[in-house]
Amino acid sequence: MPTEKQYFPLDGYTKSFWLGLEDQEEFSSHRTTRELPSEVDVLVIGSGYAGASTAHYLLHQDPALRVALYEARTACSGATGRNGGHVKPYYHRNYDLYLQMLGEKGAAEVVNSEYDHLWAIKKIVDDNNIDCDFFLTRACDVYPDKEDSRVARDLEAAKSMLANPHIYPEMKKQFQIFHGAAARMISKSPQTDIAFTYPAASCWPWKLFISILKMCVAKGLNLQTNTLVTKVTSTDNGKWVVHTPRGTTICGKVVYCTNGYTKGLLEEFSNTIVPQRGVCCSIEAADKDHTPHLTNTYGLFTSRPNSDYLINRPDGTIIVGGRDESLIKPNGDISGWFDCVDDTYVDEVSKAEFKDYMKKRFSTWENTDSDVSKIWSGILGFTNDYLPYVGELDVIGKKGCYIVAGFHGHGMPRVLFSAKAVATCITQNKKVHELEYTIPKGFFVSKERIEKPNVYEQGIHKFVKEHYDAKL
């Protein structure tokens, strides 16, 4: 009889570039108290970007709250500790989808919110003097295949976005499109015929959110790492019991900041937020005294699942993520990519994708040898409609429970305000739609959204059917 598939974080995970300091940081395995608290007001599940930010806003808005945060592994060791370090709003990318789903005002809310995130994160870093290599720069999106259908689609999306009267004028002023030789010169990408550039940033995400967690603990947060939440059950008096191998905790409110692992605890989201494995690596010049430097962060896009993202760190290290097609087996098997929570390994096929990556794609690197210094995998949470789920879970019969999850591989410019919205729901005892504007309405949880077909998954299966000899 087959074993039931589990959707919890695994031990023995690959170590990312960002987690290189983890073993030197005692706080990574912090437990505020030796035993779990018997009861708290709010219990947050997950210590990444969403969990840390939710705890931050809860304690900022109501310092008297008894807040606990349980993490299955070490602090910030999930997607937050293994992403690309890219604080990059999409702006035009996927704008056509938002326009179709949400209308002109709804699509503008998404774009404006992502723009605001950039400055809000910078303010948190500046106000708290957080050492996380935060670097304000510009993103540059290029297209290595000039004939790819993605080029025309994104250009039309950009034109439509710039024509939207509800999008911030100051953002539009900073958005530029270059063509031909100018695009190649500015981007240093000899294959592209077009380049979109706009404000973005990079950072060391693990350092940023470890710092925020430390601030929260100083304000009274009870942080319990290496404490896997296995289930959450209700009581007769309207409270919740959070179960772990170390014991249980009773709480009035539960916040699921579980992203790619959501379906492990909320079966209602089994086809709504699906885990997907990704691969990322760090690349260094073989001669570290002569390292070319790219002034932009990058997106290298195609219509296939092989779009990449890249940042150039202040120390010269390149962080590159993507190459998703390398996770699909030759026979079309996607089990090591889609609906997968195994971040304990990286395939040899994926490793080969990053060999001479920079030399092949950027003119300034064409005479520079490089080495992949570290490569890792991570688990992302992809949703049925490309948008995150934020708000109360009353719609599935879980009054007092909330969710901040499903960021579709694009959490850095979306999570902060989503966490703030849920924290405000709790401290003001309101539903997310009753709040003064905090997040795009398209992020709100609804039963209708949860039960919609997974169009993202449909797209994956369509691609596999068209490009592979699928024998699933």
Q: Are 224 and 216 in contact (CB under 8 A)?
A: no
User: Which pLDDT band holds residue 146 (cuts at 50, 70, 90)?
Assistant: confident
**Residue 461's pLDDT band (boundaries 50, 70, 90)?**
very high
Query: Are residues 304 and 358 located together in one domain of the fold?
Result: yes
Which pLDDT band, with edges at 50, 70 and 90, does 178 fall under?
A: very high
Residue 82 burial (10 A CB sphere; 0-12, 13-18, 19+): buried
**Nearest-CA neighbor of 212 among 44, 378, 375?**
44
Cα distance between residue 413 and residue 97, in whole Å: 18
- Do 49 and 182 lie in a common domain? no
Residue type, 144: P
- pLDDT (0 to 100) of residue 469: 64
Domain extent at residue 70: 18-83+206-273+385-459
CA-to-CA dists, residue 26 to 11, 183, 214, angstroms? 18, 46, 11
* Tens-digit pLDDT profile for residues 334-362: 999 999 999 999 999 999 999 999 999 99
Residue 188 pLDDT more than 70? yes
The reply to whether 154 and 241 lie within a common domain is no
Residue by residue, DSSP assigns 397-408 as: TEEEEEEEE--T
Q: Cα-Cα-Cα-Cα dihedral of 434, 435, 440, 445, to 10°?
A: -50
Give the residue ranges of DSSP H helices in 223-373: 348-353, 357-361
Nearest to 111 by CA among 128, 91, 131, 93: 91
User: How many percent of the chain have pLDDT more than 90?
Assistant: 93
**CA–CA dist 465, 471 (Å, integer):** 10
- Percent of the chain at pLDDT exceeding 70: 99
Q: Encode 112-140: b = buried (16+ Cβ within 10 Å), e = exposed.
A: bbbbbbbeebeebbeeeebebbbbebbbb
Measure the CA–CA gap between 275 and 185, rounded to whole angstroms: 38
Q: What is the mean pLDDT of residues 57-81?
A: 98
User: Quick one: 290 and 376 in the same domain?
Assistant: yes
**Claim to verify: residue 222 and residue 304 sit in the same structural domain:** no
Both 337 and 444 in one domain: the answer is: no
For residue 300, what is the domain's CATH number?
Answer: 3.30.9.10
Q: Which helix H or strand E contains 50, and what residues bound it?
A: helix 49-61
Side-chain-side CA neighbours of residue 77 (13 Å)? 27
**Tens digits of residue pLDDT in 160-172:** 999 999 999 999 9
> Is the domain of 361 the same as that of 428?
no
For residue 232, being part of any structural domain is answered with: yes
Q: Which of 381, 396, 416 is the last residue of a domain?
A: 381
128 located within any domain? no
Q: Do 425 and 332 fall into the same domain?
A: no
In tens, the pLDDT along 275-321 reads 999 999 999 999 988 899 898 999 999 988 889 999 999 999 999 99
User: Is residue 26, in this structure, part of any structural domain at all?
Assistant: yes
Alpha carbon distances (Å) from 161 to 116, 164, 198, 412? 16, 5, 13, 21
Spatial distance between the Cα atoms of 75 and 100, rounded to a whole number of angstroms: 38
- 349, 381, 413 - which closes a domain: 381
Residue 122 lies in a domain: no
SS3 64: coil
Note whether residue 64 is domain-resident.
yes
Last residue of a domain, one of 381, 402, 424: 381
Query: Do 358 and 443 lie in a common domain?
Result: no
Bin 83: left if φ > 0, else alpha if -120 < ψ < 50, else beta: beta
What mean pLDDT is predicted for residues 205-223?
98
Q: 3-state class of 86 per DSSP?
A: strand
Average pLDDT, the chain: 96
Long-range CB pairs of 61-67, under 8 A, 24+ apart, other chains included:
61/423, 61/424, 61/427, 62/427, 63/219, 63/220, 65/41, 65/427, 66/37, 66/39, 66/40, 66/41, 66/42, 66/220, 66/222, 67/40, 67/41, 67/42, 67/43, 67/216, 67/220, 67/221, 67/222
Mean pLDDT of the 374-401 span: 98
Closest residue by Cα to residue 228 from 7, 9, 6: 9
96 and 156 in contact (C-beta within 8 Å)?
yes
The reported pTM is 0.97
Rounded Cα–Cα distance for residues 416 and 52 (Å): 9
Radius of gyration of the chain measured on its C-alpha atoms: 22
Note the pLDDT tens digit of each residue in 3-41: 578 999 999 999 999 999 998 999 999 999 999 999 999
State the Cα angle at 442 between 436 and 447, rounded to 5°. 105
Q: Does residue 323 sit in the same domain as residue 345?
A: yes
For 364, other C-beta atoms within 10 Å of its C-beta total: 13
Q: What is the CATH number of the domain that holds 41?
A: 3.50.50.60
pLDDT recorded at residue 306 = 81
Same domain, 223 and 328: no
Inside any domain, residue 250: yes
Q: Which tens digits make up the pLDDT trace of 91-142?
A: 999 999 999 999 999 999 999 999 999 999 999 999 999 999 999 999 999 9
Please indicate, yes or no, if residue 92 is contained in any of the structural domains: no
Residue 9: inside a domain: no
Give how many domains the chain has, as a whole number: 2
With 0-12 / 13-18 / 19 or more C-beta atoms within 10 angstroms meaning exposed / middle / buried, residue 223 is buried
The first and second tokens of residue 392, run together, are 């109360």
Residues 396 and 375 in one domain: no
